[in-house]
Amino acid sequence: MKKTRIFVFFVILIVFMASLSVSVLAQVVEKGGTLVFGRGGDSVGLDPIQVTDGESFKVTQQIYDTLVDYKPGTTEVIPALATDWDISDDGLRWTFHLRENVEFHDGNPFNAEAVKWNFDRWRLEDHPYHIGGEFTYYGYMFQGFPGIIDEVNVIDEYTVEFILTEKQAPFLNNLAMVPFGISSPEAVKKWGEDYFKHPVGTGAYKFVEWNQGDRVIVEANENYWRERAYLDKIVFRSIPDNAARFMELQAGTIDMMDGLSPEDVDAVKDSSELKLTLRPSMNVGYLAMNFKFEPFDDVRVRRAFNHAINKEALIGAFYSGLGEPAKNPMPPSIWGYNDDIEPYEYNLEKAKKLLDEAGYEDGFEFDLWYLPVPRPYIPQGKFIGQAIQSYLSEINVKANLVTYDWSTYLDKTEHQEAPTYMLGWTGDNGDPDNFLYVLLDKTNSNNAYESEELHEVLIEAQKTMDREKRIELYRKAQKIIHRDAPWVPLVHSTPPLALKSNINNFIPNPTGTEKLHRVWLDK
Amino acid sequence: MLNYIIKRLLALIPILIGVAVIVFLIVHLIPGDPAQTMLGERATDAQLERLRESMGLNDPLYIQFWRYVKDLLHGDLGRSIMSNNPVISELKIRFPATLELSFFAMIFSVFVGVPAGIFAAINQNSWFDNLSMMVALIGVSMPIFWLGLMFIWLFAVELGWFPPSSRISVETVLNPVTNLYVVDSILNGNFTALIDVLHHLFLPAVALGTIPMAIIARMTRSSMLEVLRQDFIRTAYAKGLKRKAVIFKHALKNALVPIITVVGLQFGVLLGGAVMTETIFSWPGLGKYLVDAIYARDFPIVQGGILFFAGVFVFVNLIVDLSYATVDPRIQYE
């Protein structure tokens, strides 16, 4: 009897608290209003499959949906336009069940035909609407045209089937990427090569206006298949200069911004009207050592470099402390990260000893290439290069700083012309393969690191569908890489964003862009 | 006069051909390729190859040049590699922004610089002369990015008198006709928009106009000083003419030729795109865009943009030359 009473009491308490919290939540969310997002550059285009830059994706993310999506703030895959899916035992046949009663912004229905049409447009070079650009990300993620997607078949109105030529473990993660947003076929046909200026998707926001070089405006889609966006309108404004953009935020003419300069971080922290948010890291900045150049073919020299650079100090000085020292080639936000790896600690004695063993007790001279442009993973290439130069001088090694303009820099490093070079990577789909295979497999590495052992592990992981097995393989791969030390992994940066304090529910995603339909403003 | 204009316009043709050849060669001979820039860190050899092939970059240079000239003769400047937008439509959007900004910057620099120079000259070595020439010296040596940021900080952030950047408020609706927003708002009969547009123009125009203003003021002063020392001025005074008439009717008119030259040159330079001002004030003009295109190795945009600028520059020079004849009857064009 007593027990029942206590139970009833608790049930009442729980119900009461639940209703309280629901009513509190219901009170809190305020709908409507316009958000002005300040960013460093204009979008290149608004047809997501044709662009590769973050400024374009920032906008297309709002206008389009993909078959599957990333859970907010993570790279975990959740249903979106597809509600669920089946995979055949051999991993080659994927069947997606699509959401019903979804409309494109132009009123046309979303269905299996539309999905097939979009994939055919992307993958078939003889498709009449395979025009207007290079479809770069399709070729990149699905290995060319038509690539590994052999067939896309309509099973019924809301079921579509993909036949792959080979297993691709990250297939689902790839489909969640923003370039693979589904366009209205009618709109693509209507606008042809100019579709990139007239985007039509199923997303939470409809395209309104693009004033090139200045702003893109989107407004809430009243028929969105999820709950309607809380905001009425978003304006993406291009403000190229970091300092000017921050002043606009202080003046109140924009509500939030990315590309905050490290030196402005403290001003944001101190302001009562602004708040700071960090994007979870999905990148790595590194110093690579080229095996083709002596003495970097000697693992002892490479390990000596790993011991000689103080990463914490670099992060304190050049990232305003916003980042974490890297010990692996991929960031901890990615599953399969091997946290058991013992990093090469900052220790000049060890570094010197290793150089002695390698026969370089008197040091040597070499070229250190530093990044000519700010990148998210290395925002101040020259200063970081100078810092590394001074660290290395402590072990009697003289680094000559060298750089080129960005495209030349990429071209020359790609062709293994740099003895050592700073570079980095921002992940695409949240899969370990997208870091380890892409950067360090013998078929891809830019520093002539050609480990057969690593290659076998990475290829096996690509063909394995079981997550647990893949984790084991990737942990092993990170061990091999740590042992061979082809790089000095420097940092995983967490790019800062500054927001007015009345902005709620902005959850930055590690992939670099996020949907803003759940963001709302205190009035 | 008409003959002269036709001759000058005909002379434009070899100039543009020369510019086209030089730009094409420079753009294609500098290292770095657009495919690489476009794909960034993600570039794989296979993809680069495919992209270069589809952009026609694998063809020998002379074939690329021939294709470029052929398209040019058909009035086709090509499409941007980055955005796939036709170059001509990019120019149509961005040049008016640059033109509008430069025009108002020139208005500011002429209407402040010329009177300041005249006043300084007729009161040579007075406190005004010293002060204004000091200001002009500071103006000439002022880094514009710093000046621009200070303007934004003081007048937009602290005082809130002017909007910090952009051409028009987010709320203002304007149907673009010419993309010159001042003209468009008048054509639309939308006076709220006109006020808004002028409001946005003020800070960047003043910032951009500061250096030309200083140069014009110094040039006006020295040119006026030279004329004021000449005999006919003394004669004019001796005739009993009023000081005002001597200065404005006789002295200024004679001093005007070098001033016009400087004004024309400055205007031509500003039209070439004020990269710094456009960057600081988020002004969607051609200068910033062209610099980005150079970094991106977006060949068609760079070629089209520079060719266009060359045309504009020559045109401005022609106007300047013609205006000499109006201010100085001794100059005649046959």
Neighbour count for residue B136 (Cβ, 10 Å): 25
Tell me whether residues A410 and B163 touch, CB distance under 8 A.
no
pLDDT of residue A164: 95
Tell me whether residues A248 and B165 touch, CB distance under 8 A.
yes
> Does the pLDDT of residue B162 top 60, yes or no?
yes
Nearest to B151 by CA among B76, B107, B202, B217: B202
Neighbour count for residue B210 (Cβ, 10 Å): 26
Contact present, A135 and A124 (Cβ < 8 Å)? no
* Chain B residues with CB-CB distance to A52 below 8 A: 38-40, 42
Q: Which residue shows structure tokens 């044709």?
A: A50
pLDDT of residue A370: 94
Contact present, B217 and B115 (Cβ < 8 Å)? no
| Joined tokens for residue A402 | 């060298």
Q: Which residue shows structure tokens 């790993």?
A: A306
> Does the pLDDT of residue B239 top 90, yes or no?
no
Q: What is the pLDDT of residues B274-291, one digit of tens each?
A: 888 888 898 888 888 888
Q: Chain A contact for B285, CB < 8 A?
A: yes
CA A411 to chain centre: 23
Q: Chain A contact for B148, CB < 8 A?
A: yes
Q: Measure CB to CB from residue A410 to each of B40, B90, B170 and give the nearest one.
A: B40
| Joined tokens for residue B42 | 């993600």
pLDDT of residue A469: 93
Q: Measure CB to CB from residue A240 to each of B40, B149, B288 and give the nearest one.
A: B288
Neighbour count for residue A40 (Cβ, 10 Å): 16
Read off the DSSP letter of residue A335. Answer: T
pLDDT of residue A274: 96
Tell me whether residues A52 and B40 touch, CB distance under 8 A.
yes
**What are φ and ψ of residue A325, in 5° steps?**
-60, 140
Compute the distance between CA of residue B273 and CA of residue B276 in angstroms, rounded to an integer. 9
pLDDT of residue A477: 96
- Tell me how far CA of residue B260 lies from CA of A450, B103, B253, B255, in angstroms: 67, 15, 11, 9
Closest Cα in chain B, distance from residue A23 (Å): 34
First to last CA, chain A: 51
pLDDT of residue B79: 84
Contact present, A55 and A39 (Cβ < 8 Å)? yes
* Chain A residues with CB-CB distance to B162 below 8 A: none
- Which residue type, as a one-letter code, is found at position A273? E
pLDDT of residue A23: 45
User: Is the preceding peptide bond at A295 cis, omega within 30 degrees of 0?
Assistant: yes
Closest Cα in chain A, distance from residue B248 (Å): 43
pLDDT of residue A13: 54
**What are φ and ψ of residue B272, in 5° steps?**
-70, 5
What is the fold, at CATH topology level, of the domain defined by A65-185?
A: Dipeptide-binding Protein; domain 1 (3.90.76)
**Regions in chain A scoring below 50 on pLDDT:** 1, 20-25
Tell me whether residues A237 and B94 touch, CB distance under 8 A.
no
Read off the DSSP letter of residue A297. Answer: T
Q: What is the pLDDT of residues A329-381, one digit of tens each?
A: 999 989 899 999 999 999 999 999 999 999 998 889 999 999 988 888 898 89
* Chain B residues with CB-CB distance to A45 below 8 A: 83-85
Q: Measure CB to CB from residue A251 to each of B34, B82, B164 and give the nearest one.
A: B164
> What is A283-493's CATH number?
3.10.105.10
pLDDT of residue A24: 45
Compute the distance between CA of residue A493 and CA of residue A381 in angstroms, rounded to an integer. 14
Could you tell me whether strands A68-70 and A256-257 are parallel, antiparallel, or unpaired per DSSP bridges? Answer: unpaired
pLDDT of residue A446: 87
Q: What is the pLDDT of residues B135-152, one digit of tens each?
A: 888 888 888 888 888 999
CA B311 to chain centre: 12
- Which residue type, as a one-letter code, is found at position B195? I
Tell me whether residues B42 and A52 touch, CB distance under 8 A.
yes
* Chain A residues with CB-CB distance to B96 below 8 A: none
**What are φ and ψ of residue B321, in 5° steps?**
-60, -40
Compute the distance between CA of residue A173 and CA of residue A484 in angstroms, rounded to an integer. 29
Q: Measure CB to CB from residue A414 to each of B43, B165, B166 and give the nearest one.
A: B43
Q: What is the CA radius of gyration of chain A?
A: 25
Q: Chain A contact for B218, CB < 8 A?
A: no
Closest Cα in chain A, distance from residue B178 (Å): 14
H helix and E strand count, chain A: 16, 21
- Which residue type, as a one-letter code, is found at position A159? T
Name, in order, each residue with C-beta under 8 angstroms of B10's C-beta and a sequence gap of 6 or more: none
- Which residue type, as a one-letter code, is found at position B263? V
Q: Measure CB to CB from residue B164 to each of A196, A235, A247 and give the nearest one.
A: A247
Q: For chains A and B, count residue pairs whose Cβ atoms are closer than 8 Å.
A: 138
CA quadruple A78, A337, A73, A275: dihedral, nearest 10: 180
Neighbour count for residue A349 (Cβ, 10 Å): 9
Tell me whether residues B149 and A244 touch, CB distance under 8 A.
yes
pTM of this prediction?
A: 0.84
In terms of C-beta density within 10 A (0-12 exposed, 13-18 middle, 19 or more buried), how is residue A504 classed? middle
pLDDT of residue A5: 63
Name, in order, each residue with C-beta under 8 angstroms of A129's C-beta and a sequence gap of 6 or more: A121, A188, A189, A192
Question: What pairs with residue A324 in β-bridges?
Answer: A492
Closest Cα in chain A, distance from residue B233 (Å): 51
Q: What is the pLDDT of residues A66-118, one digit of tens each?
A: 999 999 998 889 999 999 999 998 889 999 999 999 999 999 999 999 999 99
Band of residue B74 on the pLDDT scale cut at 50, 70, 90:
confident
User: Is the preceding peptide bond at A146 cis, omega within 30 degrees of 0?
Assistant: yes
* Chain B residue with Cα closest to A445: B44
* Chain A residues with CB-CB distance to B31 below 8 A: 404-405, 407-408, 411
Q: Which residue shows structure tokens 């305020």?
A: A30
* Chain B residues with CB-CB distance to A36 below 8 A: 170
Compute the distance between CA of residue A470 and CA of residue A336 in angstroms, rounded to an integer. 8
Closest Cα in chain B, distance from residue A229 (Å): 20
Edge-first strand listing for the sheet containing A149-156: A82-87, A93-98, A159-164, A149-156
CATH 3.40.190.10, applies to A205-279+496-521: yes
pLDDT of residue A443: 84
Q: Helix crossing, A299-308 with A348-358: angle to 10°? A: 160
Q: Chain A contact for B29, CB < 8 A?
A: no
**Most confident region among A247-261, B19-33, B258-272 by mean pLDDT:** A247-261
- List all residues of chain B from 126 to 145 with a beta carbon under 8 Å from chain A: 145
More confident residue, B243 or A72: A72
Tell me whether residues B170 and A241 touch, CB distance under 8 A.
no
* DSSP H or E run through A75: none
Domain range list for chain A: 65-185, 205-279+496-521, 283-493
Nearest to A137 by CA among A50, A42, A46: A50
H helix and E strand count, chain B: 15, 0
Contact present, A278 and A499 (Cβ < 8 Å)? no
A238: three-class secondary structure by DSSP: strand
B24: three-class secondary structure by DSSP: helix
Question: What pairs with residue A275 in β-bridges?
Answer: A499
